Structure 1
Amino acid sequence: MSSVESRREMIVSLGAAATVGIAGCRTTENTTTESGSGNESQYSGVSNERAKEIALEAEFGYVEDQLANADCLADWGTSGSAVQEEAAIDYRTSEGVYVDVVVGYWTATRNMEGDSGSEARYFVTRDETERVDGTDISPCANATVR
């Protein structure tokens, strides 16, 4: 087993243990709507669960686009990272839903490897998804390619 694979397995194990330890500390969804009826899709055309799925898909796409265009990376991926993916409804308006997401990824150059995570906020409607704010992923900004 290569040192990259063994390190990645160790990081995943440590990340899973940390995630289990803090799992009960955060509420991941607030389903209260403007009327309190629980029928959240009538206000924005998208349910809480679907909004979270859409936002996660969008952030995975963003991360993959950024990493695929990073010439300094020898390898990268979005599976097997120590950072746990998550999505939480922040709040909803009559137009849409604000969703906070975290997506993990790993990168490797010839000399280094590591795990990281991207945090972002999306505004999701039935017809559109907008990345309102989030982590700027620029893995080559401080890298020296040799």
Structure 2
Amino acid sequence: MVPESTRDVPSYRVTFFFGPEPVEGRPDVLACVFNVKKRSWKAGIQISVEMSTDQLAGLQQKMRLADRLAKSLMALDPQERPHYQERMADCFAQAVCWCKLDLRLQAGMAQESQRIQADELAIELDREAGNRVDYVLAYILGELDLAPDRSLPSSC
């Protein structure tokens, strides 16, 4: 179960499509793609959300992600840990891209597929990161089936 991230933007239904994938011609940028549909729209759109690898690394440190996930990793078989660590990085990028998309949705969005570039909303996302830690952790643990057997929080 993936936690609901659009608590503040209830008129949109957002689903993760794919990513993170490298952005062509920009080796320092990753993108995740989401399907977005507003209740009043007849059809949904796709939004590509880009993040620089430097910003992802900075947010990972700011959220103290390694410390917070260490307990979950220690409970795993040592041979399985590298696979989970790799997936954790992907899930972290997905969760942060989702939070960045939420920031854009709060301002409203036209019904056309679009791209949120890596430098857009960077300052706002950095400011908001402290409020999104629980959501990001729940997303990662939920995606990896490492979450405790309770309902995941909705912190975004």
The answer to whether TM tops 0.5 is: no
Greater RCO, CA 8 A, separation 6+: 2
- TM-score band w.r.t. shorter chain: 0.3 to 0.5
Larger Rg, first or second structure (1 or 2): 1
Structure whose residues are more often helix by fraction: 2
TM-score by length of 1: 0.33
TM-score by length of 2: 0.31
